[in-house]
A and B are shown apart, each in its own frame.
Chain A
Amino acid sequence: MTDDATPLERFLRGIIPENPVYRQLLGLCPTLAVTNNMKAAMTMSGAVLFVLLGANLVVSLIRGLLKPHLRILVFTLTIATFVTIADRFLAAFMYPMSKELGPYVPLIIVNCIIICRCEVCASRQSPAVAIADASGQSLGFALALASIATVREILGSGTWWGIRILPAGWDNWVIMVLPAGAFLTMGLLLGIANWLGTIRSETKGY
């Protein structure tokens, strides 16, 4: 992680090369908990995008004033504010989804992707870089959640985004909707991602 990367490079990095879920293994709690259907996974991704953009921007703007021993406190305070706004927004405008996500929305406060981006990027970089970084990482998070939710929703409910994909005679794999299905899917996809990564670096010759 060099510090002289351009905003575009940072944006692209977050999507695949430094994907928060598949590469950094961060934010696994929501990744496992809310991926039994696409709608919940995308709502969670949207909330994380909002919080990460907000937190990164605020932290970047005040980065010159941060005291080393108080910085984590400031990060958490900022994150908690944006999370509360997101939580209230869901309760006001997407009430059934807010009920479905339950405690996982307030738990974004302790999502380490966000505090990690505040620490490694926003507290050292200009607002433009911080926003590009937040967008890239959020997009990477959304892609990771979408990949897991796609497998789990299709196999577990026979639908994708609530639309029936598999024939009506399909026996739903109940395990895919339960927590165990999340671990299985996550493990297999992580394995595939690592395997593809190895092939890629071998063909490049290092």
Chain B
Amino acid sequence: MKLRYISEAWLVLLLATGFALALAAVDLAWKTRIEENKRRETIGQIPHLVPGAVRGQKEFVGKVYVYRAFDSAGRQVGWVLPAVGQGFADRIELLIDLDSEAEYITGLYVLEQKETPGLGANIIAAQWRKQFTGKPATLPLHVSQAAIGENEIQAVTGATISSESVVSIVNEAVAGFRRALEGWER
């Protein structure tokens, strides 16, 4: 019985292997280009995300890579922290903006998401992302119904999991960055 399954499925197994190899080749060929596109978008977003910033510069703080945002006089006005995590449907990639002391979140931008159109995909709406502006970076945020507390975020209607994913990606990245920053400055 088991053997019959394998003999019938050989075509599926063979095709799956062949297709996987083809996709690996595609990924290998285009990966750097796609990364470069994303990096360019990140740099391009910095002036819109951090108030007063005109340019960003990529650097490593400990092992975490971030963008330092500068104003026109060359003073640092904040940090832009790229973060990735699992959403409801697929990976969600975010840019989290922090003030120069990394104590407050100054903004949030969704670089990539494939959440459900009309529900989870609403995490890209400026109206929803605005909630993150001014939230403390020192406390973990959490999703709630009413969003009364200073570290509470109201979920997108009909998309609790997408909202919770974004919040937990933010929490993890911000906490990691703050740890790295402490060790780095000393």
Interface pair B12/A73, CB less than 8 Å apart: yes
Q: Which residue of A lies closest to B15 (CB)?
A: A77
In whole angstroms, what is the CA distance A63 to B112 when docked? 38
Interface pair A92/B34, CB less than 8 Å apart: yes
Interface pair A66/B11, CB less than 8 Å apart: yes
In whole angstroms, what is the CA distance A104 to B181 when docked? 39
Chain A stretch 69-116: residues in CB contact (< 8 A) with chain B? 70, 73-74, 77-78, 80-81, 84-85, 88-89, 91-93, 95, 99, 102-104, 106
Interface pair A95/B26, CB less than 8 Å apart: no
B15, B23, B113: the one within 8 Å of A74 (CB)? B15
A1 contacts partner chain B, Cβ-Cβ < 8 Å:
no
Interface pair A78/B19, CB less than 8 Å apart: yes
Contacts of B112 in A (CB 8 A): 99
Q: Which residue of A lies closest to B16 (CB)?
A: A77
Chain B stretch 81-128: residues in CB contact (< 8 A) with chain A? 89-90, 112-118, 121
Contacts of B11 in A (CB 8 A): 62, 65-67, 70, 74
Give the number of A-B contacts (CB < 8 Å): 61
Interface pair B22/A106, CB less than 8 Å apart: no
Q: How far is the CB of A36 from chain B (nearest CB, A)?
A: 13
A12 contacts partner chain B, Cβ-Cβ < 8 Å:
no
In whole angstroms, what is the CA distance A80 to B12 when docked? 13
Q: Which of A93, A95, A104, A106 has the most CB of B within 10 A?
A: A95
> How would you classify the secondary structure of chain B's contact residues: helix, strand, loop or mixed?
helix
A28 contacts partner chain B, Cβ-Cβ < 8 Å:
no
Contacts of A128 in B (CB 8 A): none
Number of interface residues of A (CB under 8 A): 26
Interface pair B12/A77, CB less than 8 Å apart: yes
Interface pair B114/A102, CB less than 8 Å apart: yes
In whole angstroms, what is the CA distance A30 to B31 when docked? 26
Listed A/B pairs (26) with beta-carbon separation below 8 Å: A33-B117, A62-B15, A66-B11, A67-B8, A67-B11, A70-B11, A74-B11, A74-B12, A77-B12, A77-B15, A77-B16, A77-B19, A78-B19, A88-B34, A91-B30, A91-B34, A92-B33, A92-B34, A92-B37, A93-B33, A99-B112, A102-B121, A103-B115, A103-B117, A103-B121, A179-B118
Q: Footprint of B on A, CB under 8 Å? A: 33, 62, 65-67, 70, 73-74, 77-78, 80-81, 84-85, 88-89, 91-93, 95, 99, 102-104, 106, 179
